């Protein structure tokens, strides 16, 4: 008779062997077969250690929150869930809004390693000077001379928050701010640089899109390449992305540069590739695409931001504020309900799509889009049950998706 201890040990060895196999797996481009997939619930349970019932609950949160969207889940290198609704599909390139800030941050991490001789102080580099931002001179505020790259990427540079009700945070305490003019896409660089400061650099956090765009200006100066070209060469090509672009077409105006604050248009399975590279500590096959120490800084509390759990353009769960998720989870959201999640301890990557119809307009990127496009005309948010705060279309819905997918993990 086999003892329960022997069975447990065997199950543990089986799980460890699956994890080891996953660490060596990297999906080929979709044109060459793409992600390995599992569809049978029993097989998903046995090989990926996930309960599909919880994945379906996570998908229901997506459907209830936005007119368009979808959910994709990868565990142990297996794509185990992929489902869309509305205008979303695998091959579309929607405007993912601020989700793109994550790509800006990772590009900066690659830059700091590749051009470390030019930036020996790394994230501690002061950038408002002739070397990195000559267009900012003369400074409209002498305090900007003290702004460091790490503060721009953690949104603690002191830049005024955006929106109709911006908020500053000082050591976890909110401070309401009056609205101020922000970015202007017709003069993106200078309008970002000239946004006023609400506090001393490092003295508070406020969600301010000009900050990561300024970081992307620094990247342009240091690398000699546009943000889009640098991402294409250092991430997209090695990972085998399909067609992608930034949403540069805005009516009759073509933005001359990508906005480091977001609006990347990337296919769903390629968003997973990006997250999977971060899950694998920046590796892709035999290449170290992203410095592993930079990724660690993205998922842990940052010395550049003692005010909120926000590190290098990623929300991190190091303080456990997402109660149903591991503390090493980190993610980036975008307006309309988009989000990329990475959970190293669970060997898990999640991509949630959302968005209004306008975010799926092919004119934004100029890329051909799927012909079979549907919309949920007249869609209204479905009333919620079981939760008493927040909106399923916003960060509360994203956190519920993370919690439900984490709950699906059974070993």
* pLDDT tens per residue across span 35-70: 999 999 999 999 999 999 999 999 999 999 999 999
198 contacts 176 by C-beta, under 8 angstroms = no
359 contacts 405 by C-beta, under 8 angstroms = no
Q: What is the pLDDT of residue 389?
A: 35
Q: What is the pLDDT of residue 11?
A: 46
Minimal CA–CA distance to 298: which of 268, 276, 271, 318?
A: 318
Q: Are residues 355 and 302 in the same domain?
A: yes
Q: Interior CA angle at 253 toward 248 and 256, to 5°?
A: 50
Q: Interior CA angle at 317 toward 174 and 149, to 5°?
A: 70
Q: What is the pLDDT of residue 349?
A: 98
* Virtual torsion, Cα 9, 12, 16, 21, nearest 10 deg: 100
Final residue of a structural domain among 172, 204, 222:
222
Q: What is the mean pLDDT of each run of 10 residues along the chain (411 residues)?
A: 52 51 88 97 97 97 94 98 96 97 98 97 98 97 98 97 92 93 93 96 97 98 98 98 97 94 98 98 98 97 97 96 96 96 98 95 92 75 52 80 97 88
| 138 found inside a domain | yes
| 283 found inside a domain | yes
401 contacts 63 by C-beta, under 8 angstroms = no
Q: What is the pLDDT of residue 86?
A: 93
Q: Which residues contact 46 (CB under 8 A, 6 or more apart)?
A: none
Our count of domains for the chain comes to 2
| 388 found inside a domain | yes
Instruction: Return the DSSP state at 9.
Output: H
| 250 found inside a domain | no
Residue span of the structural domain in which 179 resides: 104-222
Q: What is the pLDDT of residue 380?
A: 80
Q: What is the pLDDT of residue 387?
A: 43
Beta bridge partners of 229: none
147 contacts 274 by C-beta, under 8 angstroms = no
| 245 found inside a domain | no
Q: Are residues 187 and 213 in the same domain?
A: yes
Characterise 358 by phi-psi region: left (phi > 0), alpha (psi -120 to 50), beta (else). alpha
Q: Are residues 87 and 169 in the same domain?
A: no
Instruction: Return d(Cα 410, Cα 301) in angstroms, integer.
Output: 28
Q: Are residues 394 and 273 in the same domain?
A: yes
Which tens digit of pLDDT belongs to each residue from 277-293? Answer: 999 999 999 999 999 99
CATH classification of the domain holding 386: 3.40.710
Q: Are residues 285 and 203 in the same domain?
A: no
- Going by their DSSP bridges, the two strands 330-334 and 338-343 should be labelled as antiparallel
């Amino acid at each position: 008779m086999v003892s329960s201890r022997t069975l447990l040990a065997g199950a543990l060895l089986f799980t460890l062997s699956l994890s080891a196999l996953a660490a060596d797996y990297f999906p080929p481009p979709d044109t060459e077969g793409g992600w390995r997939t599992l569809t049978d619930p029993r097989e998903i349970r046995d090989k990926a250690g996930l309960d599909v019932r919880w994945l379906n609950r996570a998908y229901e949160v997506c459907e209830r929150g936005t007119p368009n969207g979808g959910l994709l889940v990868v565990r142990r290198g297996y794509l185990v869930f992929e489902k869309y609704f509305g205008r979303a599909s695998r091959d579309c390139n929607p405007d993912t809004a601020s989700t793109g800030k994550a790509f800006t941050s990772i590009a900066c991490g690659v830059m700091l390693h590749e051009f470390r001789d030019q930036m020996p102080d790394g994230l501690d580099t002061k950038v408002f000077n002739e070397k990195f931002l000559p267009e900012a001179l003369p400074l409209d505020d002498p305090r900007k001379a003290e702004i460091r790259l790490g503060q721009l990427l953690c949104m603690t540079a002191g830049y005024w928050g955006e929106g109709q009700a911006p908020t500053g945070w000082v050591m976890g305490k909110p401070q309401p701010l009056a609205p101020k003019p922000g970015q202007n896409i017709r003069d993106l660089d200078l309008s970002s640089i000239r946004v006023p400061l609400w506090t001393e650099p490092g003295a508070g956090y406020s969600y301010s899109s000009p900050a990561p765009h300024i970081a992307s200006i620094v990247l342009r100066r240091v690398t000699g390449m546009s943000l889009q070209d640098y991402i294409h060469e250092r991430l997209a090509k090695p990972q085998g992305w399909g067609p992608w672009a930034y949403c540069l077409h805005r009516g009759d105006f073509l933005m001359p540069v990508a906005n480091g604050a977001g609006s990347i248009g990337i296919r769903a399975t390629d968003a997973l590739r990006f997250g999977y590279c971060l899950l694998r500590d920046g590796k892709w096959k035999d290449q170290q695409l992203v410095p592993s120490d930079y990724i660690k800084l993205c998922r842990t509390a940052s010395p550049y931001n003692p005010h909120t759990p926000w590190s290098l353009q990623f929300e991190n769960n190091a303080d456990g504020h997402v109660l149903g998720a591991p503390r090493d989870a980190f993610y980036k959201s975008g307006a309309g309900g988009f989000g990329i999640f990475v959970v190293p301890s669970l060997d898990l990557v999640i991509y949630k799509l959302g968005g209004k119809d306008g975010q799926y307009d092919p004119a934004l990127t100029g890329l051909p889009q799927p012909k079979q496009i549907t919309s949920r005309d007249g869609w209204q948010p479905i009333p919620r049950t079981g939760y008493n705060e927040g909106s399923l279309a916003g960060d509360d819905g994203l956190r519920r998706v993370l919690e439900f997918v984490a709950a699906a993990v059974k070993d």
